[in-house]
Amino acid sequence: MGYPFEVTKKGHDNVSTLPSYIVSELTDAYLETENRFVWDGKKFYWNDLEAGHLEIDFFSKKMRYRMQHINKAQEPLLRALGWKSTEQKSVLDMTAGLGRDACMLFFAGFNVTMFERNPILQLLLANALSELPSEDFSQQFILEKEDSIVYLRRMIELNLAAPFADAIYMDPMYPERKKSALVKKELRIIRNLVGADLDSESLLLMAIESGVPRVVVKRPKGATFVADKRPNHSVESPNTRFDVYLNHPL
């Protein structure tokens, strides 16, 4: 049994171009009333019958525009992560979601490992990664299909002598404040898939305990600190705040 999957008429001719790992997770059947993956011959996406289509494309027009116009020295997330043009640092994105932030970090030169625990998003991310010409880049972009809290617990138990990454980044879903028809389509689909991340406190506390030198948490402007933990400093942008926690070596 796999996830419901619709191959449209145009998709039948070239379904074999989808990565075999992805096809092996799908079943070639669906109910008309059921949310499902779709392959239309060009695009692989999730069809949420209530909220619409969700596709992850790291080379979309929107993403290319964002990357071409980004001012790396000013970009709040890069500032929060201590980005420097001369260094190739590693960052663990503990909450990949649509991989937008992870992709920006990759194009800015970070070695990126992203974690996603939702199986639907995992397949969409894996498909987007399979389209990346990795030979064109010297840095790595990896997906771990795992709960990052489980990963961090394992790493903490190993009690390694040196930090296992330069930075940790997390952007958990926060509980919906009020039902609104204006919530962006993609956010609605993700909410339908993952709900709210009610364990973000544990994630932050473990990230800090892990000894990784820098932990950055994305929050909506004006939101409380995760786990009521005051950061060393914050980087603000019009709608968002990045809280920065520094783990100083003893």
Ligand X SMILES: C[S@@+](CC[C@H](N)C(=O)[O-])C[C@H]1O[C@@H](n2cnc3c(N)ncnc32)[C@H](O)[C@@H]1O
Residues that bind ligand X (CB under 6 A): 94-95, 97-101, 115-118, 121, 147-149, 171-173, 190, 194, 197, 203
Residue for token digits 């949420």?
Answer: 48
Shortest distance (Å) from residue 125 CB to ligand X? 9
- Which residue, 11 or 172, has its beta carbon nearer to ligand X? 172
Residue of minimal Cβ distance to ligand X: 97
Q: Which two tokens stand for residue 106?
A: 């990759």
Shortest distance (Å) from residue 85 CB to ligand X? 22
Q: Is 171 annotated as a binding residue?
A: yes
- Which residue, 7 or 91, has its beta carbon nearer to ligand X? 91
DSSP string, 5-36: EEE-TTTGGGGGGS-HHHHHTEES---TTS-E
The residues, any chain, with a CB within 8 Å of residue 4's CB and separated by 6 or more, are 26, 27, 29, 30, 31, 34, 35, 36, 37
Q: Is 157 annotated as a binding residue?
A: no
Q: Is 116 annotated as a binding residue?
A: yes
Per the CB < 8 A criterion, the answer to whether 193 and 37 are in contact is no
Task: Tell me how far apart the alpha carbons of residues 43 and 60 are, in angstroms, rounded to a whole number.
Answer: 12
Shortest distance (Å) from residue 9 CB to ligand X? 31
Shortest distance (Å) from residue 59 CB to ligand X? 15
Task: Tell me how far apart the alpha carbons of residues 128 and 17 are, in angstroms, rounded to a whole number.
Answer: 13
Binding site members for S-adenosyl-L-methionine: 100-101, 116-117, 171
Binding site members: 100-101, 116-117, 171
